[in-house]
Amino acid sequence: MNIQTIPAVPRFKTILNSARFVRNPISVLSENTENYGATYHTYIGGVFPAILSTDAGFIQHVLQKNHRNYKKSPIHFEKLGHFLGNGLLTSDGEYWLRQRRLIQPGFHRDRLAGLTDIMNGVLDDFIASFDRRIAQRQPIDISENMLEVAFRIIARSLFSTDVGEEELEKLSGNITRIQEFLARQIRQPFKEGWFRLSGQVRRHEKLAAESDEIILKYIRERKESGNKQDDLLQMLLDARYEDTGEGMNEKQLLDETLILFVAGHETSANALTWTWYLLSQHPEAVVKIRREIVEKIGDRPPEFADLPKLEYLTQVIEESMRLYPPAWITDRVAVDDDQYNGIDIPKGIAVVTYIYGAHHSPDYWPEPEKFIPERFSKENKKKQAPFSYLPFGGGPRLCIGNNFAMMEMQLALARLVPRYDFRLVEGQSVELQPLITLRPKDGIRMRFQIGAGH
């Protein structure tokens, strides 16, 4: 079998569909999967040849078994790297490996225990301001609120209390605007000339420079003060390369910090938002979560050691990321010719691992569109095909923040779900907006009320 013999979307069709692809790539890709099968050849945007797959074996081959043959696509370096520098998410090869080895131990589950207090502190403040918002009796966009809480969690986990309110707002605004611009650049490559001519590239470069300046200030202040904190910045400052015994230089510290900021909040915020949405549709799950928290923890804030006890809540989060994977797609480029299961993968072709498609595939998930958290019980997990569920990616480039993200989502939901009664605003329709991450288009408006007993 070669590339001609795997099903191929006719080129004219990819061109015809390119406008719809920009608007709603998930509808196009899922329709293709239905028509052409789990692995097929296509042209992204009618231009770039690609193999797209929802086949868990294929995905495992690319991300793990033969990962050396697959580099991240130029999107990661050229576009993201231009604004975000050369950090874990945007680097490759030897440099990436050295950085990953250096930083990985800092994200070990046990090392994260120290962040529980920081996260609980952010949640205390959030609850106080959320209560005030609720008192105004207006619908609340849960998407906006989860973005705020996740941003504060990553900011304080990086810098503890060093960072002031005003600068936090500035950083948050700048990073959001840069991310939105990046999404437009990636989806509308044909507008590149216009983005430059109209001064948009320059404007966003200025925002990036401003954010760099704020972050550098904190790095320098921490270094000079000699004050040690139990946070991620301290971990980055203290990390030493195995070969030289040296730490990172200032530019490296800046790049890695910025990448953690960017990679570390929108994804978690989206996962939390989709979970609220699903819970609003499944009151029986809310009852079970509340019961589990009362039984396992009581009414104090959860501590790190409590988190493994929250089995059902964790299943809900996992099922939510199956239905709505925040990182809904990822891509690589084949460095050399390769084969998987008789399929030729020619050098230079884009290989798209369609995470959303794998998560919705009836090959792996009976009744795939149904919300069934019990799919992720200990017993059921053992039966899942490897790489059929990969919200955090897989192989050596598995998300470094996966434990951090699980921990913040568990803590946030364990504190917020028992406190509030909530429902979707009447008539609220929910539409997918797959940009760099999968978010709800125009947010999700809900009504909240402080529940009985709080």
Binding site for ligand HEM (CB under 6 A): 88-89, 100, 154, 259-260, 263-264, 267-268, 271, 326-327, 330, 391-393, 397, 399-401, 404-405
- Of 364 and 392, which CB lies nearer to ligand HEM in the complex structure? 392
- Cβ proximity of 99 and 256 under 8 Å: yes
State in angstroms the smallest separation of the CB of 402 from ligand HEM.
7
Which residues contact residue 46 at a Cβ distance below 8 angstroms, ignoring those fewer than 6 apart?
11, 14, 15, 16, 17, 18
Task: Give the CB-side neighbour count of residue 215, counting CA atoms within 13 A.
Answer: 29
Distance, C-alpha 366 to centroid of its chain: 25
- Of 9 and 310, which CB lies nearer to ligand HEM in the complex structure? 310
- Of 292 and 331, which CB lies nearer to ligand HEM in the complex structure? 331
- Cβ proximity of 38 and 6 under 8 Å: no
State in angstroms the smallest separation of the CB of 123 from ligand HEM.
15
State in angstroms the smallest separation of the CB of 63 from ligand HEM.
7
Residues 428, 416: Cα–Cα separation, whole Å: 22
Q: Which residue carries 């600068």 as its tokens?
A: 167
- DSSP SS3 for 362: coil
Residues 155, 265: Cα–Cα separation, whole Å: 9
Q: Which residue carries 């480029």 as its tokens?
A: 333
- Of 163 and 263, which CB lies nearer to ligand HEM in the complex structure? 263
First to last CA, the chain: 64
- Of 85 and 326, which CB lies nearer to ligand HEM in the complex structure? 326
State in angstroms the smallest separation of the CB of 15 from ligand HEM.
27
**Residue with nearest beta carbon to ligand HEM:** 401
Single-letter amino acid code for the residue at 265? H
Helix (H) / strand (E) containing 339: strand 338-340
Which residues contact residue 433 at a Cβ distance below 8 angstroms, ignoring those fewer than 6 apart?
439, 440, 441, 442
- Of 14 and 99, which CB lies nearer to ligand HEM in the complex structure? 99
State in angstroms the smallest separation of the CB of 92 from ligand HEM.
9
State in angstroms the smallest separation of the CB of 452 from ligand HEM.
31
- Of 28 and 271, which CB lies nearer to ligand HEM in the complex structure? 271
Residues 113, 116: Cα–Cα separation, whole Å: 6
- Of 42 and 157, which CB lies nearer to ligand HEM in the complex structure? 157
**Residue 98 falls in which region: left (phi positive, over 0), alpha (psi -120 to 50) or beta:** alpha
State in angstroms the smallest separation of the CB of 401 from ligand HEM.
2
State in angstroms the smallest separation of the CB of 202 from ligand HEM.
27
